[in-house]
Amino acid sequence: MRIALFTETFLPKVDGIVTRLKHTVEHLQRLGHDVMVFCPEGGLKSYKGAQIHGVSGMAFPLYPELKLALPRPSIGEAIEAFAPDLIHIVNPAVLGMAGLFYAKTLNIPLMASYHTHLPKYLEHYGLGVLEGVMWELIKAVHNQARINLVTSTAMQEELTEHGVERVQVWQRGVDTELFRPELASREMRDRLTQGHPDAPLLLYVGRLSAEKEVDRIKPVLESIPDARLALVGDGPHREDLEKHFAGTHTNFVGYLAGEELGSAYASADAFVFPSRTETLGLVLLEAMAAGCPVVAANAGGIPDIVTNGENGYLFDPKDEGGAIAATQRLLDRGAERELMRRNARMEAEKWGWNAATRQLVDFYTAILSKNSTLPTAA
Protein backbone atom coordinates (compact mmCIF):
# COMPACT_ATOMS: atom_id res chain seq x y z
CA MET A 1 0.00 0.00 0.00
CA ARG A 2 0.98 3.63 -0.39
CA ILE A 3 1.11 5.67 2.83
CA ALA A 4 1.43 9.44 3.18
CA LEU A 5 2.83 10.19 6.62
CA PHE A 6 2.42 13.74 7.96
CA THR A 7 4.52 14.58 11.00
CA GLU A 8 5.42 17.81 12.79
CA THR A 9 8.91 16.44 13.52
CA PHE A 10 11.37 14.20 11.69
CA LEU A 11 15.06 13.77 11.01
CA PRO A 12 17.51 15.34 11.64
CA LYS A 13 15.73 16.18 14.91
CA VAL A 14 16.36 13.68 17.68
CA ASP A 15 13.54 12.62 20.01
CA GLY A 16 11.35 9.63 20.82
CA ILE A 17 8.78 10.41 18.14
CA VAL A 18 11.44 10.60 15.45
CA THR A 19 12.94 7.33 16.68
CA ARG A 20 9.60 5.57 16.36
CA LEU A 21 8.88 7.10 12.97
CA LYS A 22 12.24 6.33 11.39
CA HIS A 23 12.01 2.67 12.45
CA THR A 24 8.41 2.55 11.24
CA VAL A 25 9.31 4.01 7.86
CA GLU A 26 12.22 1.61 7.48
CA HIS A 27 10.15 -1.47 8.33
CA LEU A 28 7.20 -0.38 6.19
CA GLN A 29 9.56 -0.09 3.23
CA ARG A 30 11.06 -3.52 4.05
CA LEU A 31 7.57 -5.00 4.06
CA GLY A 32 7.04 -3.73 0.51
CA HIS A 33 4.96 -0.62 1.19
CA ASP A 34 5.65 2.82 -0.27
CA VAL A 35 5.91 5.74 2.15
CA MET A 36 6.10 9.48 1.54
CA VAL A 37 6.93 11.59 4.60
CA PHE A 38 5.66 15.16 4.81
CA CYS A 39 7.64 17.00 7.48
CA PRO A 40 9.46 20.25 8.28
CA GLU A 41 12.40 20.83 5.94
CA GLY A 42 15.51 19.13 7.29
CA GLY A 43 17.66 18.69 4.23
CA LEU A 44 16.75 15.07 3.54
CA LYS A 45 15.08 14.00 0.31
CA SER A 46 14.66 10.33 1.19
CA TYR A 47 15.08 7.90 4.07
CA LYS A 48 15.45 4.11 3.72
CA GLY A 49 13.76 4.28 0.30
CA ALA A 50 10.90 6.53 1.41
CA GLN A 51 10.43 9.90 -0.26
CA ILE A 52 10.61 12.97 1.99
CA HIS A 53 8.69 16.11 1.11
CA GLY A 54 10.22 18.83 3.27
CA VAL A 55 8.15 21.92 4.02
CA SER A 56 9.88 25.14 5.08
CA GLY A 57 8.84 26.58 8.41
CA MET A 58 9.80 28.75 11.34
CA ALA A 59 11.03 27.97 14.84
CA PHE A 60 8.39 27.63 17.54
CA PRO A 61 9.08 30.43 20.09
CA LEU A 62 8.56 28.24 23.17
CA TYR A 63 10.65 25.43 21.71
CA PRO A 64 13.17 26.66 19.07
CA GLU A 65 14.20 23.10 18.12
CA LEU A 66 10.67 22.52 16.83
CA LYS A 67 9.83 23.94 13.41
CA LEU A 68 6.31 24.96 12.50
CA ALA A 69 5.89 24.02 8.84
CA LEU A 70 2.93 25.84 7.33
CA PRO A 71 0.80 24.02 4.72
CA ARG A 72 1.28 25.18 1.14
CA PRO A 73 0.06 24.21 -2.38
CA SER A 74 3.15 22.07 -3.13
CA ILE A 75 1.83 19.55 -0.60
CA GLY A 76 -1.34 19.01 -2.62
CA GLU A 77 0.69 18.54 -5.80
CA ALA A 78 2.90 15.96 -4.10
CA ILE A 79 -0.12 14.12 -2.65
CA GLU A 80 -1.82 13.90 -6.03
CA ALA A 81 1.39 12.66 -7.68
CA PHE A 82 2.01 10.06 -4.96
CA ALA A 83 -1.65 8.93 -4.89
CA PRO A 84 -1.66 7.41 -1.39
CA ASP A 85 -4.07 4.71 -0.29
CA LEU A 86 -4.06 6.17 3.21
CA ILE A 87 -2.95 9.29 5.09
CA HIS A 88 -1.47 8.95 8.58
CA ILE A 89 -1.13 12.19 10.58
CA VAL A 90 1.22 12.11 13.56
CA ASN A 91 0.60 14.56 16.43
CA PRO A 92 -1.43 16.80 14.10
CA ALA A 93 -0.88 20.47 14.91
CA VAL A 94 0.08 22.61 11.93
CA LEU A 95 1.44 20.51 9.08
CA GLY A 96 -0.91 17.72 10.12
CA MET A 97 -3.82 19.95 9.20
CA ALA A 98 -2.72 19.67 5.57
CA GLY A 99 -2.92 15.88 5.87
CA LEU A 100 -6.40 16.19 7.34
CA PHE A 101 -7.48 18.61 4.60
CA TYR A 102 -6.32 16.40 1.72
CA ALA A 103 -7.75 13.28 3.32
CA LYS A 104 -11.15 14.96 3.39
CA THR A 105 -10.85 16.73 0.04
CA LEU A 106 -9.60 13.69 -1.89
CA ASN A 107 -11.60 11.14 0.14
CA ILE A 108 -8.51 9.28 1.34
CA PRO A 109 -8.84 7.15 4.51
CA LEU A 110 -7.31 8.90 7.52
CA MET A 111 -5.46 7.59 10.56
CA ALA A 112 -4.06 9.72 13.40
CA SER A 113 -1.62 8.91 16.17
CA TYR A 114 -0.98 10.69 19.46
CA HIS A 115 2.55 10.75 20.86
CA THR A 116 3.02 13.99 22.80
CA HIS A 117 0.81 14.72 25.78
CA LEU A 118 0.32 18.39 24.93
CA PRO A 119 -2.37 19.22 27.52
CA LYS A 120 0.05 18.29 30.31
CA TYR A 121 2.94 20.13 28.67
CA LEU A 122 1.08 23.43 28.86
CA GLU A 123 1.49 23.82 32.62
CA HIS A 124 5.28 23.67 32.28
CA TYR A 125 5.18 26.68 29.95
CA GLY A 126 2.81 28.77 32.06
CA LEU A 127 -0.20 27.98 29.88
CA GLY A 128 -2.08 25.57 32.11
CA VAL A 129 -5.31 27.57 31.80
CA LEU A 130 -5.51 26.47 28.16
CA GLU A 131 -5.64 22.75 28.94
CA GLY A 132 -9.40 22.52 28.39
CA VAL A 133 -9.11 24.32 25.04
CA MET A 134 -6.31 21.99 23.99
CA TRP A 135 -8.45 18.92 24.72
CA GLU A 136 -11.26 20.33 22.59
CA LEU A 137 -8.86 20.89 19.69
CA ILE A 138 -7.44 17.36 20.05
CA LYS A 139 -10.93 15.90 20.08
CA ALA A 140 -12.03 17.92 17.04
CA VAL A 141 -9.06 16.77 14.95
CA HIS A 142 -8.68 13.18 16.07
CA ASN A 143 -12.37 12.33 15.82
CA GLN A 144 -12.13 12.80 12.06
CA ALA A 145 -9.75 9.82 11.83
CA ARG A 146 -11.00 6.26 11.36
CA ILE A 147 -8.53 5.02 13.99
CA ASN A 148 -6.57 6.96 16.62
CA LEU A 149 -3.40 5.28 17.84
CA VAL A 150 -1.73 5.85 21.19
CA THR A 151 1.35 4.17 22.65
CA SER A 152 0.07 3.08 26.08
CA THR A 153 -3.08 1.94 27.82
CA ALA A 154 -2.91 4.99 30.10
CA MET A 155 -3.17 7.29 27.08
CA GLN A 156 -5.95 5.15 25.61
CA GLU A 157 -7.96 5.63 28.80
CA GLU A 158 -7.25 9.36 29.06
CA LEU A 159 -8.08 10.21 25.45
CA THR A 160 -11.26 8.13 25.64
CA GLU A 161 -12.27 9.92 28.84
CA HIS A 162 -11.82 13.25 27.04
CA GLY A 163 -14.08 12.27 24.17
CA VAL A 164 -11.62 10.99 21.57
CA GLU A 165 -13.15 8.08 19.70
CA ARG A 166 -11.82 4.84 18.18
CA VAL A 167 -8.63 4.82 20.25
CA GLN A 168 -6.32 1.81 19.88
CA VAL A 169 -2.90 1.01 21.37
CA TRP A 170 0.02 0.84 18.96
CA GLN A 171 2.45 -1.47 20.71
CA ARG A 172 5.83 -0.25 21.87
CA GLY A 173 9.02 -0.96 19.98
CA VAL A 174 12.75 -0.85 20.66
CA ASP A 175 15.95 -1.71 18.77
CA THR A 176 17.23 -4.67 20.78
CA GLU A 177 20.12 -5.16 18.35
CA LEU A 178 21.54 -1.69 18.95
CA PHE A 179 20.74 -1.40 22.65
CA ARG A 180 22.30 -4.37 24.45
CA PRO A 181 24.14 -5.01 27.74
CA GLU A 182 27.35 -6.08 25.97
CA LEU A 183 28.09 -2.45 25.11
CA ALA A 184 28.94 -1.61 28.74
CA SER A 185 32.48 -0.30 29.01
CA ARG A 186 34.77 1.29 31.54
CA GLU A 187 35.82 3.79 28.89
CA MET A 188 32.25 5.05 28.60
CA ARG A 189 31.88 5.21 32.38
CA ASP A 190 35.09 7.24 32.49
CA ARG A 191 33.67 9.61 29.88
CA LEU A 192 30.25 10.00 31.48
CA THR A 193 31.63 10.45 35.01
CA GLN A 194 34.38 12.81 33.83
CA GLY A 195 37.18 10.60 35.05
CA HIS A 196 35.52 8.89 38.04
CA PRO A 197 34.43 5.49 36.62
CA ASP A 198 34.14 3.85 40.04
CA ALA A 199 31.59 6.38 41.28
CA PRO A 200 27.85 5.56 41.17
CA LEU A 201 26.61 6.67 37.76
CA LEU A 202 23.09 8.02 37.22
CA LEU A 203 21.92 8.60 33.67
CA TYR A 204 19.21 10.62 31.95
CA VAL A 205 18.65 10.53 28.19
CA GLY A 206 16.16 12.77 26.44
CA ARG A 207 15.18 16.33 25.71
CA LEU A 208 16.33 19.00 28.11
CA SER A 209 12.98 20.76 28.24
CA ALA A 210 10.76 21.99 31.04
CA GLU A 211 8.13 19.24 30.77
CA LYS A 212 10.78 16.53 31.33
CA GLU A 213 11.36 17.85 34.89
CA VAL A 214 15.07 16.99 34.78
CA ASP A 215 15.66 19.46 37.64
CA ARG A 216 13.99 16.94 39.98
CA ILE A 217 17.00 14.62 39.62
CA LYS A 218 19.20 17.03 41.62
CA PRO A 219 18.01 15.92 45.10
CA VAL A 220 18.56 12.28 44.04
CA LEU A 221 22.13 13.06 42.97
CA GLU A 222 22.88 14.97 46.16
CA SER A 223 21.53 12.14 48.35
CA ILE A 224 24.10 9.60 47.09
CA PRO A 225 27.72 10.11 48.20
CA ASP A 226 30.16 10.63 45.30
CA ALA A 227 27.44 9.94 42.70
CA ARG A 228 27.78 11.35 39.19
CA LEU A 229 24.99 12.33 36.82
CA ALA A 230 25.24 12.27 33.02
CA LEU A 231 22.59 14.16 31.07
CA VAL A 232 22.54 12.96 27.46
CA GLY A 233 20.61 15.16 25.05
CA ASP A 234 19.93 18.82 24.51
CA GLY A 235 17.04 21.24 24.38
CA PRO A 236 15.67 24.67 25.23
CA HIS A 237 15.99 24.19 29.01
CA ARG A 238 19.72 23.37 28.97
CA GLU A 239 20.98 26.79 30.09
CA ASP A 240 18.55 26.83 33.03
CA LEU A 241 19.56 23.29 33.97
CA GLU A 242 23.26 24.15 33.85
CA LYS A 243 22.56 26.86 36.43
CA HIS A 244 20.35 24.52 38.46
CA PHE A 245 23.01 21.78 38.63
CA ALA A 246 25.95 24.15 39.15
CA GLY A 247 28.23 22.84 41.90
CA THR A 248 27.12 19.22 41.49
CA HIS A 249 28.84 16.31 39.73
CA THR A 250 26.76 16.68 36.58
CA ASN A 251 28.03 16.17 33.04
CA PHE A 252 26.05 17.75 30.19
CA VAL A 253 27.07 15.27 27.52
CA GLY A 254 25.01 16.52 24.57
CA TYR A 255 23.61 14.19 21.95
CA LEU A 256 24.86 10.63 21.55
CA ALA A 257 23.71 8.20 18.87
CA GLY A 258 24.22 4.64 17.69
CA GLU A 259 26.51 2.39 19.71
CA GLU A 260 27.79 5.35 21.72
CA LEU A 261 24.27 5.88 23.05
CA GLY A 262 23.86 2.14 23.57
CA SER A 263 27.11 2.07 25.53
CA ALA A 264 25.99 4.99 27.70
CA TYR A 265 22.82 3.13 28.69
CA ALA A 266 24.66 -0.15 29.31
CA SER A 267 27.42 1.48 31.36
CA ALA A 268 25.19 3.33 33.84
CA ASP A 269 24.05 2.05 37.23
CA ALA A 270 20.58 3.57 37.09
CA PHE A 271 18.44 5.44 34.58
CA VAL A 272 16.50 8.17 36.40
CA PHE A 273 13.40 9.53 34.67
CA PRO A 274 11.18 11.96 36.60
CA SER A 275 8.86 13.08 33.77
CA ARG A 276 5.12 12.90 34.45
CA THR A 277 4.00 13.72 30.90
CA GLU A 278 5.10 10.64 28.95
CA THR A 279 2.73 8.91 26.55
CA LEU A 280 5.19 5.99 26.59
CA GLY A 281 8.81 6.86 27.39
CA LEU A 282 10.80 5.20 24.62
CA VAL A 283 14.12 5.98 26.29
CA LEU A 284 13.05 3.75 29.17
CA LEU A 285 12.74 0.81 26.80
CA GLU A 286 16.13 1.64 25.31
CA ALA A 287 17.71 1.70 28.77
CA MET A 288 16.06 -1.60 29.67
CA ALA A 289 17.21 -3.21 26.41
CA ALA A 290 20.75 -2.21 27.38
CA GLY A 291 20.28 -3.81 30.80
CA CYS A 292 20.08 -0.56 32.75
CA PRO A 293 17.53 -0.62 35.59
CA VAL A 294 15.23 2.39 35.63
CA VAL A 295 13.84 4.59 38.37
CA ALA A 296 10.83 6.40 36.94
CA ALA A 297 7.72 8.34 37.89
CA ASN A 298 4.58 6.22 38.17
CA ALA A 299 2.68 8.32 35.65
CA GLY A 300 1.44 8.37 32.05
CA GLY A 301 2.47 5.41 29.93
CA ILE A 302 5.47 4.48 32.08
CA PRO A 303 3.71 1.73 34.12
CA ASP A 304 3.08 -0.08 30.82
CA ILE A 305 6.85 -0.56 30.59
CA VAL A 306 8.18 -0.71 34.13
CA THR A 307 7.00 -3.32 36.61
CA ASN A 308 7.87 -2.02 40.05
CA GLY A 309 10.40 -4.20 41.84
CA GLU A 310 10.97 -6.48 38.84
CA ASN A 311 12.69 -4.55 36.06
CA GLY A 312 12.97 -1.18 37.79
CA TYR A 313 11.37 1.01 40.41
CA LEU A 314 8.39 3.33 40.15
CA PHE A 315 7.92 6.23 42.53
CA ASP A 316 4.96 8.45 43.35
CA PRO A 317 5.60 11.65 41.36
CA LYS A 318 4.00 13.66 44.17
CA ASP A 319 6.44 12.26 46.75
CA GLU A 320 9.66 14.28 46.64
CA GLY A 321 11.50 11.56 48.51
CA GLY A 322 10.23 8.70 46.38
CA ALA A 323 12.87 8.97 43.67
CA ILE A 324 15.62 9.29 46.28
CA ALA A 325 14.53 6.18 48.18
CA ALA A 326 14.10 4.13 45.01
CA THR A 327 17.50 5.08 43.59
CA GLN A 328 19.29 4.48 46.88
CA ARG A 329 17.69 1.06 47.14
CA LEU A 330 18.72 0.16 43.62
CA LEU A 331 22.33 1.18 44.18
CA ASP A 332 22.62 -0.37 47.64
CA ARG A 333 21.44 -3.85 46.64
CA GLY A 334 23.93 -5.25 44.16
CA ALA A 335 22.34 -8.68 43.71
CA GLU A 336 18.90 -7.14 43.24
CA ARG A 337 20.26 -4.67 40.72
CA GLU A 338 21.82 -7.45 38.64
CA LEU A 339 18.51 -9.34 38.65
CA MET A 340 16.74 -6.18 37.51
CA ARG A 341 19.28 -5.76 34.71
CA ARG A 342 18.40 -9.21 33.39
CA ASN A 343 14.67 -8.68 33.84
CA ALA A 344 14.83 -5.31 32.09
CA ARG A 345 16.52 -6.88 29.08
CA MET A 346 13.99 -9.74 28.98
CA GLU A 347 11.10 -7.25 28.96
CA ALA A 348 12.64 -5.22 26.14
CA GLU A 349 13.21 -8.31 24.02
CA LYS A 350 9.44 -8.72 23.70
CA TRP A 351 9.09 -5.48 21.76
CA GLY A 352 10.90 -5.40 18.43
CA TRP A 353 10.14 -2.79 15.76
CA ASN A 354 9.17 -5.38 13.18
CA ALA A 355 6.26 -6.63 15.30
CA ALA A 356 5.13 -3.07 16.07
CA THR A 357 5.16 -2.19 12.37
CA ARG A 358 3.28 -5.33 11.37
CA GLN A 359 0.61 -4.39 13.88
CA LEU A 360 0.47 -0.92 12.30
CA VAL A 361 0.00 -2.49 8.87
CA ASP A 362 -2.88 -4.50 10.31
CA PHE A 363 -4.47 -1.22 11.45
CA TYR A 364 -3.96 0.24 7.97
CA THR A 365 -5.52 -2.83 6.39
CA ALA A 366 -8.51 -2.65 8.73
CA ILE A 367 -9.08 0.99 7.74
CA LEU A 368 -8.87 0.27 4.03
CA SER A 369 -11.18 -2.72 4.28
CA LYS A 370 -13.46 -0.90 6.77
CA ASN A 371 -13.06 -3.97 8.94
CA SER A 372 -14.59 -3.65 12.36
CA THR A 373 -12.20 -6.26 13.81
CA LEU A 374 -9.09 -4.32 14.80
CA PRO A 375 -5.71 -5.80 15.78
CA THR A 376 -4.51 -5.63 19.34
CA ALA A 377 -1.09 -5.34 20.90
CA ALA A 378 0.79 -8.58 21.43
CA-nearest of 185, 230, 9 to 113 is 9
In the chain, the DSSP E strands lie at 2-7, 34-40, 46-47, 50-55, 57-60, 63-69, 86-90, 110-113, 147-150, 167-169, 201-205, 228-232, 250-254, 270-273, 294-297, 312-315
Query: What are the respective helix, strand and coil percentages of the chain, to the nearest 5?
Result: 45, 20, 35
**Which residue, 104, 100, 82, 91, is CA-closest to 33?**
82
Q: Where are the domains of the chain?
A: 2-173+352-369, 181-348
pLDDT at 65 over 70: no
How sure is the predictor about 124, in pLDDT bands with cuts at 50, 70 and 90? low
The DSSP letter of residue 195 is S
pLDDT at 280: 75
Instruction: Say yes or no to pLDDT of 373 above 80.
Output: no
Mean pLDDT of the chain: 91
Long-range pairs for 72-75: beta carbons < 8 A, 24 or more residues apart: 75/38, 75/102
Query: Given pLDDT bands bounded at 50, 70 and 90, which one contains residue 99?
Result: very high
pLDDT of residue 168: 97
CATH level 3 topology of 181-348? Rossmann fold (3.40.50)
Kindly state the percentage of the chain with pLDDT values over 70: 93
Encode pLDDT of 239-281 as tens digits.
999 999 999 999 999 999 999 999 999 999 999 999 987 877 8
Model pLDDT for residues 203-214, shown as the tens digit of each residue: 999 999 988 999
- Counting Cβ atoms within 10 Å, is residue 302 exposed (0-12), middle (13-18) or buried (19+)? buried
Return the SS3 of 173.
coil
How much is the average pLDDT of 348-356?
Answer: 90
pLDDT given at position 63: 56
pLDDT(156) > 80: yes
CB atoms within 10 A of CB 62: 15
Q: 55: how many CB neighbours lie within 10 A of its CB?
A: 21
Q: Determine the CATH number of domain 2-173+352-369.
A: 3.40.50.2000
> How much is the pLDDT for 60?
62
The percent of residues above 90 in pLDDT, for the chain, comes to 74
pLDDT at 70: 80
Over 90: is that where the pLDDT of 128 sits? no
State the average pLDDT over residues 114-122: 76
Q: How confident is the model at residue 197 (pLDDT cuts 50, 70, 90)?
A: very high
- Report the alpha-carbon distance of residue 29 to residue 33 in Å, rounded: 5
Minimum mean pLDDT among 109-113, 132-136, 323-327, 344-348: which range? 132-136
Q: Is the pLDDT of residue 187 over 90?
A: yes
DSSP 123-164: GGGT-GGGHHHHHHHHHHHHTTSSEEEESSHHHHHHHHHTT-
Confidence (pTM): 0.79
Nearest to 23 by CA among 159, 231, 233, 179: 179
Task: For residue 64, name the pLDDT band (cuts at 50, 70, 90).
Answer: low
> One-letter amino acid identity for 78?
A
Same-fold call for 2-173+352-369 versus 181-348: yes
Higher-scoring residue by pLDDT: 60, 148: 148
Give the distance from CA 14 to its chain's centroid. Answer: 10
pLDDT at 67 over 90: no
CB 245 within 8 A of CB 229: yes
Q: CA 28 to CA 46: how far, in whole Å?
A: 14
Q: What average pLDDT does the segment 220-238 reach?
A: 95
Which tens digits make up the pLDDT trace of 165-185? 999 999 989 999 999 999 999
